[in-house]
Amino acid sequence: MTFEEIKALDHQYVMQSYGRFDVAVDHGRGATLWDTQGREYIDFTSGIGVCSLGYADEGWVNAITEQAGKLGHISNLFYAEPYVKAAEKLCRKAGMSNVFFANSGAESNEGLIKLARKYSFDKYGKGRGTIITLHKSFHGRTITTLSATGQDVFHNYFFPFTEGFRHADANDFDSVEAMAGHDVCAVMFELIQGEGGVLPLDREFVQKVADLCAKRDWLLLIDEVQTGVGRTGSLFAFQQYGIQPDAVSFAKGIAGGLPFGGVMAGEKCRNVFTTGTHGTTFGGNPISAAAACYVLDRMDDAMFQSVQEKGAYLRSRIEALDLPCLGATRGMGLMIGIDVKGERTNKELAAKLIQSGLLVLTAGPGLRLLPPPGHHPGGDGQGPGHPESSAFLTSARRAGPLPLSSSL
């Protein structure tokens, strides 16, 4: 089909809830995508942080193909090998106790919220279900996760929203303390606010909140939907903050491109969900679980070190361009935010970059880069200060000065 045919069918038969760019993607390999017209794009989006190994990774394809030939789905009323293997790998690598599997980030965060409220109800009874989240946060698009999200722009249309959330200022411990009360059961935040603009939380702030939670028996809930699965240079970002959460949500990159997610609980919360208190039809799907096992096997210290080095290299190269339209960078690993300066908006700059063959994202008022952290192209060993080349480092050299300076 041509781009025009695809776009026409989309507009006729698909609800128009997405502001799509004028690109119809046909296929991909590594960190490169091709559209239906054969045009090539360097992908710095990973499907918004989902394709953790890039596209068409041979081992990933083999893992899901093999599992699809054995068992594509089974009810959670029965046991199956793939989900228990994925659960073991996650818990061992993250230092958590057990897992509930879901299908998306929003669903995982719903589970995180339910876990906190049931923990508090079981121990203290009713009246202690409020959760403190942060301004500029984003936790999903269900009614409840929209309520948890600390951005007024999302608090519209769908009234009435779920009650029981208060929003404090990020990196302001006094603001969190000011939200305290006898009705609070948990604090929930992203360690890097992705949709809010790629805004990392300060380590000292996070540790002080963790201490406050321990003191008041509030659960410390960490939303790792976007920061997890090697994105920041560790399996989960909390492992770089010197904290041990009570529960962690994950999704996006965990299955390398298939729907998968969930909630990991620490020992304090391992028995909160009991039979019949939570569930989902497709949670722990065998094909997605097989994909997650393969992705997790690829996550090791060498890969995490590589992610940190590549992130530092990309940030230094971007800032060295010294362009009038781009400002400072921030983030961790390969979760990078870039300030936008000048007359053009971030959406206008993103559109220009896409026209030049570089796919990027927006976040808050800036740009956001999410290259695939686990992609190994088997390169030539070149690259400044890096043991191996990668598609996105090569892409940075190709895409850096040319599209940014000549096209913008």
**Domain shared by 284 and 306, yes or no:** no
B/e letters for 363-400, b = 16+ CB within 10 Å, e = fewer, are: bbebbbbbbbbbbbbeeeeebeebebbbbbbbbbeebb
**pLDDT confidence bin for 375, thresholds 50/70/90:** confident
* pLDDT digit string, tens, across residues 1-35: 999 999 999 999 999 999 999 999 999 999 999 99
**Is the pLDDT assigned to residue 244 strictly greater than 70?**
yes
Which pLDDT value is given to residue 396?
A: 36
pLDDT-wise least confident of 172-176, 272-276, 380-384 = 380-384
Q: Which distant-in-sequence residues (6+ apart) come within 8 Å of 190 by Cβ?
A: 134, 137, 138, 139, 201, 222, 223, 224, 225, 226, 227
CB atoms within 10 A of CB 144: 20
Tokens 């362009």 label which residue?
323
**Domain shared by 89 and 133, yes or no:** yes
**Is the pLDDT assigned to residue 69 strictly greater than 60?**
yes
Query: How far apart, in Å, are the Cα atoms of 338 and each of 160, 252, 256, 268?
Result: 35, 22, 25, 39
Which pLDDT value is given to residue 391?
A: 42
Q: Please report, rounded to a whole number, the percentage of residues in the chain having pLDDT higher than 70.
A: 92
**pLDDT confidence bin for 38, thresholds 50/70/90:** very high
**Is the pLDDT assigned to residue 260 strictly greater than 80?**
yes
Amino acid sitting at position 193: Q
CB atoms within 10 A of CB 91: 16
**Domain shared by 345 and 372, yes or no:** yes
Average pLDDT over residues 103-123: 98
**Domain shared by 244 and 343, yes or no:** no
**Is the preceding omega at residue 160 within 30 degrees of 0, hence cis?**
yes
Q: Which distant-in-sequence residues (6+ apart) come within 8 Å of 258 by Cβ?
A: 64, 285, 287, 288, 291
Q: Is residue 127 part of a domain?
A: yes
Maximum Cα interatomic distance, the chain, rounded to a whole number of Å: 63
**Domain shared by 234 and 352, yes or no:** no
* pLDDT digit string, tens, across residues 174-198: 999 999 999 999 999 999 999 999 9
Higher-confidence position of 168 and 393? 168
**Is the pLDDT assigned to residue 404 strictly greater than 90?**
no
**Is the pLDDT assigned to residue 394 strictly greater than 50?**
no
Average pLDDT over residues 36-61: 97
Decide which of 245, 266, 298 is a domain's last residue.
298
**Is the pLDDT assigned to residue 281 strictly greater than 60?**
yes
Q: Is residue 162 part of a domain?
A: yes
**Is the pLDDT assigned to residue 138 strictly greater than 80?**
yes
Which pLDDT value is given to residue 355?
A: 93
**Is the pLDDT assigned to residue 380 strictly greater than 90?**
no
Q: Is residue 64 part of a domain?
A: no
**Is the pLDDT assigned to residue 370 strictly greater than 80?**
yes
- DSSP assignment of 10-45: HHHHS---S---S--EEEEEBTEEEETT--EEEESS
DSSP state of 405: I
**Domain shared by 246 and 314, yes or no:** no
> How many structural domains comprise the chain?
2
* pLDDT digit string, tens, across residues 288-345: 999 999 999 999 999 999 999 999 999 999 999 999 999 999 999 999 999 999 999 9
Scanning 151-242, the segments in alpha helix (DSSP H) are: 173-178, 203-216
CA 47 to CA 317: how far, in whole Å?
Answer: 23
**Domain shared by 381 and 307, yes or no:** yes
The rounded radius of gyration (Å) of the Cα atoms in the chain is 21
**Domain shared by 252 and 193, yes or no:** yes
**pLDDT confidence bin for 377, thresholds 50/70/90:** low
CA 197 to CA 343: how far, in whole Å?
Answer: 19
Domain containing residue 235? 71-298
**pLDDT confidence bin for 116, thresholds 50/70/90:** very high
Q: Is residue 220 part of a domain?
A: yes
Adjacent-strand bridge partners of 100: 263
CA 37 to CA 56: how far, in whole Å?
Answer: 19
**Domain shared by 289 and 309, yes or no:** no
Average pLDDT over residues 264-276: 98
Q: Is residue 316 part of a domain?
A: yes
- Six token digits for residue 37: 């017209």
Mean pLDDT (the chain) is: 93
**Domain shared by 375 and 348, yes or no:** yes
Which pLDDT value is given to residue 407?
A: 41
Decide which of 273, 298, 323 is a domain's last residue.
298
